[in-house]
Chain A
Amino acid sequence: MSESHRNKSQEKNHNSKVASELNNLIQIISGTSSLIENIWEGRPGSEKYFEMLRASIERAEQVTAQLVAQAGGTNRKRLLPSDLEQRFDEALIAGAPNQRKHSILVVDDEPMALELLHGVLSDAGYEVAVAQSGFESLDLFRRDTQAFDLILTDLSMPLMDGEETFERLRQMSPTVNVVLMAGFVDSGRLEKMMNNGLSGFVGKPFAPVEILAVVTSVISAADQKEGTSGIAAAV
């Protein structure tokens, strides 16, 4: 490998880390600001500050998206198996269904991100458990592999990333539904994970409605599958 080539690849690697970290932060900032906005009862006219906030977040998103593209990351905002796309659209319009309590395990090394997702998902009626590392999620999952309808994991975590966590979860139970979140993921890597049974992907930063629609469509598809196989078994 030539010197300049190596420098380039190092730079790419560095950029992908920066992009991922930026997207994580934007996620937290946009999440908290929309939560604040919901409960804000400030002076009349103060809404314009939220507009400014939203606009700057959007600009930060655009800049980071360029960085992601330069470093060779996927430009997708989300990825679902093709048969789930329609469900996603329906869920986006309908909002989260609330017939049966479904439980979700969220895995992220960033406590603020966990806090936000916990809020969003439990407000929508889901039972939510959190794990602050891949290790912890495997420990929780191992105790009862039937306890969670879906596991939502971040990709970039130290010592055991989301990809390894996903693989080890699948080893414990091949039917587990895992959705990946990432501020940066290499397109080839994402494709490989989808081929290995990943249930879906959401790019950070995402809006609450978006993550809810993904979660809902994956869980409802799994429910239906379970239902039909149950009928088949009964027949």
Chain B
Amino acid sequence: MTSAPANAFAQLCQNRLFEGIGAKVLERIRPDVNIMQLKRGDVVFKEGDLGDSLYLVGEGSIKISKQGRGGRQEVLDYIQTGNFFGEVALLGGQPHSAMASAAEPTVLGAVKEETFQHILELAPSRLHMNFLRLITERMRSVNSHFITEIMRSERLSLVGSMANSIIHDLKNPICIVRCCSDLIASETNDLRLRELTSMLDGAVDGMLAMTQELLDYARGSTQLNKQLISVWGMLDELNQQSLRLLPGKNIHFVKHIRYDGNLEIDRARFVRMLSSLIKNSREAMVGGGILTITTDLVQDQVVLRISDTGVGIPPEILPRLFEPFMTHGKSSGTGLGLAIGRSVVEAHGGKISLSSVYGSGTTIDIRLPKPRE
């Protein structure tokens, strides 16, 4: 923490908690307010810490997050300039129920319980009103966040139950198709018919694989069959599956291969996932464009970047893009592409992120741990 800027206290006085309270009154608590200067990522308190202060945000913003399933930090809320947090632990005398950390360089004012009581006495009705109003607002926002989360998990569990019943219902007809096709193939010497039955088999296998994928996603567990494969080997596989379609769509393919060593991946699953990302890119570049694949090694992580010069994604959809059933401007597909993408990458111990400029293109970054050889 560095020393606070001179105007820090003035900024804190602008806090919504102090609305309508005179400068003179606030000046009296000045010595009791502890001003903190935070860097991005600095932690104010952790989940379970005892709360002894109320925090006012003078500048910047604070991320409130909670450890969710699978150890991932789930963001609950952001507290912006002019707001405050930490009141529940302070008033309820309970440990903090979430973690607070700076989302950017932030100036905070910490107000201890005695000081808070002191202001309450100095400006009773005003502060009570402000406090009550802001807390109600906060509750409403948390509520709506909560509802969205529930809806998300509802949809997820819906996928689960749906996939189970779909697979169950599909298995019978698929078996019949397979048996019939085998019978036809064994009954005939006609090459054309044999070719057709083998196409049928291929299609059935594809259906099974897709349903399996849906089920994998719904179960949230992905059994990986990892092996070492070089970047070239992966590109070769990718070339057979999807890259070769690019020239026909008037899409120029550019590669920047700065790392061509091995990856430790489930070959089929990983390449299928990349193919579906490339398919998205292809569909975003209707009139043609440039698809760029970059590989690089950054601090022991292999970075795989796929970027296109397509239509991009509207900013309002971006935050929800990795959710299942989020599709944008597509008439076909399961709406699971990116959701599966994330689950596959995370199952490999990696991370996937997406950035997009609406109207000019989308970039997807995948980071994987470099295999130890």
A50-80 CB contacts (< 8 Å) to partner B: none
Q: Is B160 an interface residue (CB 8 A)?
A: no
Q: Is A6 an interface residue (CB 8 A)?
A: no
Interface string of A118-138 (1 = CB under 8 A from B): 000000000000000101101
- How many pairs of residues, A versus B, come closer than 8 Å at their CB atoms? 34
Whole-angstrom CA separation of A56 from B240 in the bound complex: 35
Whole-angstrom CA separation of A143 from B246 in the bound complex: 28
- B243 in contact with A138 (CB, 8 Å): no
Whole-angstrom CA separation of A139 from B229 in the bound complex: 8
Specify which chain A residues have a CB less than 8 angstroms from the CB of B230 in the assembled complex: 138-139, 142-143
- Name which of B229, B247, B260 has the most chain A CB atoms within 10 A of its CB: B260
Whole-angstrom CA separation of A142 from B233 in the bound complex: 10
Please tell me which one of the listed residues A139, A143, A159, A168 contacts residue B244 in the complex, with CB atoms under 8 A apart: A159
Q: Is A158 an interface residue (CB 8 A)?
A: yes
Please tell me which one of the listed residues A142, A143, A159, A168 contacts residue B239 in the complex, with CB atoms under 8 A apart: A159
Please tell me which one of the listed residues A135, A143, A158 contacts residue B235 in the complex, with CB atoms under 8 A apart: A135
Please tell me which one of the listed residues A133, A142, A158 contacts residue B247 in the complex, with CB atoms under 8 A apart: A158
- Name which of B232, B236, B240 has the most chain A CB atoms within 10 A of its CB: B232
Please tell me which one of the listed residues B240, B246, B260 contacts residue A142 in the complex, with CB atoms under 8 A apart: B260
Chain A nearest Cβ from B242, distance in angstroms: 11
- B247 in contact with A136 (CB, 8 Å): no
Q: Is B253 an interface residue (CB 8 A)?
A: yes
Specify which chain B residues have a CB less than 8 angstroms from the CB of A136 in the assembled complex: 232-233, 236
Chain A nearest Cβ from B271, distance in angstroms: 12
Specify which chain B residues have a CB less than 8 angstroms from the CB of A158 in the assembled complex: 244, 247
Specify which chain A residues have a CB less than 8 angstroms from the CB of B255 in the assembled complex: 160
B246-278 CB contacts (< 8 Å) to partner A: 246-247, 253, 255, 257, 260
With A158-B247, A159-B244: A139-B239 Cβ-Cβ less than 8 Å: no
- Name which of A135, A136, A138, A142 has the most chain B CB atoms within 10 A of its CB: A135
Specify which chain B residues have a CB less than 8 angstroms from the CB of A142 in the assembled complex: 230, 232, 260
- B232 in contact with A138 (CB, 8 Å): yes
Specify which chain A residues have a CB less than 8 angstroms from the CB of B229 in the assembled complex: 139
With A142-B260, A159-B253: A135-B232 Cβ-Cβ less than 8 Å: yes
Whole-angstrom CA separation of A143 from B261 in the bound complex: 10
Q: Is the interface of A mostly helix, strand, loop or mixed?
A: helix
How many chain A residues have a CB neighbour from B under 8 Å? 11
Chain A nearest Cβ from B211, distance in angstroms: 30
- A135 in contact with B260 (CB, 8 Å): no
Whole-angstrom CA separation of A204 from B171 in the bound complex: 51
Chain B nearest Cβ from A88, distance in angstroms: 32
Chain A nearest Cβ from B115, distance in angstroms: 66
A151-167 CB contacts (< 8 Å) to partner B: 158-160
Specify which chain A residues have a CB less than 8 angstroms from the CB of B233 in the assembled complex: 135-136, 139
Specify which chain B residues have a CB less than 8 angstroms from the CB of A159 in the assembled complex: 239, 243-244, 246-247, 253
Whole-angstrom CA separation of A142 from B257 in the bound complex: 14
With A142-B232, A158-B244: A133-B260 Cβ-Cβ less than 8 Å: no
Whole-angstrom CA separation of A6 from B232 in the bound complex: 36
Whole-angstrom CA separation of A205 from B230 in the bound complex: 34
With A139-B230, A142-B230: A133-B236 Cβ-Cβ less than 8 Å: yes
Whole-angstrom CA separation of A160 from B260 in the bound complex: 15
Chain B nearest Cβ from A227, distance in angstroms: 31
Chain B nearest Cβ from A118, distance in angstroms: 18
Interface string of B323-364 (1 = CB under 8 A from A): 000000000000000000000000000000000000000000
Whole-angstrom CA separation of A37 from B175 in the bound complex: 47
Whole-angstrom CA separation of A168 from B231 in the bound complex: 13
Chain A nearest Cβ from B244, distance in angstroms: 6
With A133-B239, A159-B253: A139-B232 Cβ-Cβ less than 8 Å: yes
With A143-B230, A158-B247, A159-B253: A138-B260 Cβ-Cβ less than 8 Å: yes
Q: In this complex, what residue of A is CB-closest to B246?
A: A159
Q: In this complex, what residue of B is CB-closest to A138?
A: B232
Whole-angstrom CA separation of A139 from B237 in the bound complex: 11
Whole-angstrom CA separation of A120 from B5 in the bound complex: 81
Closest 6 CB pairs of A and B: A135-B236, A139-B232, A139-B233, A138-B232, A136-B236, A135-B235
Q: What residues make up the interface of B, taking CB atoms closer than 8 Å to A?
A: 229-230, 232-233, 235-236, 239-240, 243-244, 246-247, 253, 255, 257, 260
A-B contact pairs, 19 of them (CB 8 A): A133-B236, A135-B233, A135-B235, A135-B236, A135-B239, A136-B232, A138-B230, A138-B232, A139-B229, A139-B232, A139-B233, A139-B236, A142-B232, A158-B244, A158-B247, A159-B239, A159-B244, A159-B247, A160-B255
Q: What residues make up the interface of A, taking CB atoms closer than 8 Å to B?
A: 133, 135-136, 138-139, 142-143, 158-160, 168
